[in-house]
Amino acid sequence: MSKKYLIVGLGNIGSDYNNTRHNIGFKVVDYLASVNDASFETKKLGDIATFRFKGRVFILLKPNTFMNLSGKAVKYWIDKHSIHQENLLIITDDLNLPFGSLRLKTKGSDGGHNGLKDIQDKLQTSQYNRLRFGISSDFLDGKQVDYVLGEWTAIELDQLNNRLDRCAAFVKSFVMSGVKNAMNEYNNT
């Protein structure tokens, strides 16, 4: 029997959000699907793609509930596939990390991120794996929303594919080698 992993990329649905910093979670799971010949299908509460790799099943989820209500979709798909909580990985943006840096944590606060706040509320725990993708905090006071919902700069876009590749390797390491090994190898890279 294969082990199942739910890999959730956070983002907002709709073409207005496609290339925004806040949608990096969607970008990561899109990248993972494309390099593993998987395609997304619209299902209940989100778009789902599945692929197998060395006896593991990767279930990729892009919730269609909008970012701030992501917990409903996460809870539904965890229950539907009987995913163990340690096999859940949430991928999200982080203003407190430099652009492209990656940090995996196994627990913690929502850090003011409404998507994580809703997931924590629906799962009734703050102990779940979250992979934070740095988007930096290069914005003026009072302009956080504009920055997060803004599109990537030309410099960021130039580096994005390399960072997506690194993030995909991080996710595969999490699944194949375990959370501690993945953290040792990839955190802050």
Sheet with 41-43, strands from edge to edge, namely 41-43, 46-53, 56-63, 3-9, 88-94, 129-134, 102-105
Q: How far is the C-alpha of 50 from the C-alpha of 69, rounded, in Å?
A: 23
The two structure tokens encoding residue 148: 């997060």
Task: Give the residues across from 132 on adjacent strands.
Answer: 92, 103
Q: Which residues are catalytic?
A: 22
Number of Cβ within a 10 Å radius of residue 86: 13
Dihedral over Cα of 70, 40, 166, 84: its sign = positive
φ, ψ (nearest 5 deg) of residue 168:
-65, -40
- Is the separation of the CB atoms in 104 and 182 below 8 Å? yes
